[in-house]
Amino acid sequence: MTINPERVRCLFGTDGVRDVANRGDMTPEMALRLGRSYVLFLAERGVPRPRIAVGRDTRRSGLMLEAALAAGMTSAGADVFSLGVIPTPGVSFAAKKAGMQGGAVISASHNPAEYNGIKFMDSSGCKLSDDMEAAIEEYMGDNLTDDWRPTGASIGVLRQAPEMTGQYVDWLATLWKENLPFPAEGVMDCAHGAAYSVAPDLFSRLGGRWTVVGNTPDGLNINEGVGVMKMPHLCGIVKEKGLSIGIAYDGDADRVLLCDGRGRTLNGDIMLWVLARWLNSEGRLGSGAVATVMSNMALEEHLGKENISVFRCQVGDRYVLETMNEKGALLGGEQSGHVIMSPVVNTGDGICTGLCFIEACQALGEDIDTLADRFSPYPQVLKNVSIPRDVKPDADFLRELTEETEPMLDGSGRVFIRPSGTEPLMRILVEARDRKLMEEVSSFLENTIREKFS
């Protein structure tokens, strides 16, 4: 297979390689070459026969891509351990626990079922850095990738390792303190994704009798009307049943959002607000908390009153982790529900985060139904504007547009514009205490960008 070097340049987005499955950058041929390139990347860094954990979500295309990815890895000399359907953090757990040299996840996270993706991890279960992904991209167009052909006993072996899922659930169960009562009832939305069996099994083991929805995947219904992208579905069930809490995951369960008994969404900012105070009270917060540029300004206001520092970083949970390591912070996350708690995990884990949030509320004496009111976020609007897939927005244009519009908010808000790392979209965030002004600025930006890229 010949790969055009121009095509693989910037192949990796903010969360691995992602595209419509069997098209573009997510064909079996591309998966096979990605697998070979990843193993060559490891081999040239002193790991000639790496052991790699591979997991996937529930998409129909997952088995097809796993077969190709595993073939590429084993043909380059790696031993591959197939975990089957398992949350992304479960692959991270397996790689670290079993002492493997890497991991790979086949998932398109919150995207519709026709999409799929591949993301790689290192031996500690962390997502790869930009530099590491750039190195793998270089191998994609390098003849050495084709010439690296082990034979005989040097060819890798593919092994089935479904037992790692049970070990992951066992570990999650140890996070809940035995002397704390686990909430008896609630609603859990598994998004017809990778958490569909793991999360209900865990909650049942802890003594909960939760209503479970989104737990009947058929390969084509992942994220369809359910999960973190469709919170009104969960919120409606919680209100209808008169329960006090709901939890929703995304397709690969590295994200989580909650809702209170009044059917209101509790996003990542509110979770960070609660978790930061809890970890700080236990001396496990480090230097503070990391939030992305998308987080609401109210988060800094509230944590500032507790003398807790907030450090900002660009969007993407791997950038959250990088900033945490740089600043010495042990908590970080995104408004979208990616949360990393370094005392416990080193990647986003929706199931872990949900458990810890419930424990934090109990420890702090928080009434979940009052959190949304007391957090009182700045009004904020996020819009997605479609752009042609082959267009790369000019950084100078985005900077100048931001500088032009921010003064319109009279110093009581902010503007943030960025291209999506996984979809042909421009994301526009406007935040201000004055809602009318916020909406006017947002509409101006939306119209300007549409005209620019139409």
Q: Which residues are catalytic?
A: 109
Q: How far apart, in Å, are the Cα atoms of 409 and each of 137, 180, 431, 442?
A: 41, 46, 9, 11
- Structure tokens given for 243: 């329960």
The candidate with the shortest Cα–Cα distance to 113, out of 206, 8, 21, is 21
**CA–CA distance, 438 with 207 (Å, rounded to integer):** 45
CB of 118 within 8 A of CB of 17? Answer: yes
- Provide the 8-state DSSP code for 11: -
Residue 154 DSSP one-character state? G
* Beta strand extents in 378-424 (DSSP E only): 380-386, 413-419
Beta strand pairing call for 17-20 and 115-121:
antiparallel
- Nearest 5°: phi and psi at 222? -60, 130
Task: Note whether 21 and 111 are within 8 A (CB).
Answer: no
User: 295, 269 in Cβ contact below 8 A?
Assistant: yes
From CA 244, how far away is CA 406, in angstroms rounded?
39
Tokens for 395, please give them.
């950084």
Dihedral angle of Cα 224, 421, 68, 3, to the nearest 10 degrees: 140
For residue 53, the cross-strand partners are 81, 103
Q: Name the residue among 298, 242, 235 with its Cα closest to residue 265.
A: 235
How would you classify the pairing of strands 187-189 and 211-213? parallel
Angstrom CA distances, 441 to 378, 397, 406, 433, 435, stand at 15, 17, 9, 13, 10
The residue type found at 230 is K
CA distances for 302 relative to 89, 277, 380, 453, angstroms: 29, 10, 17, 39
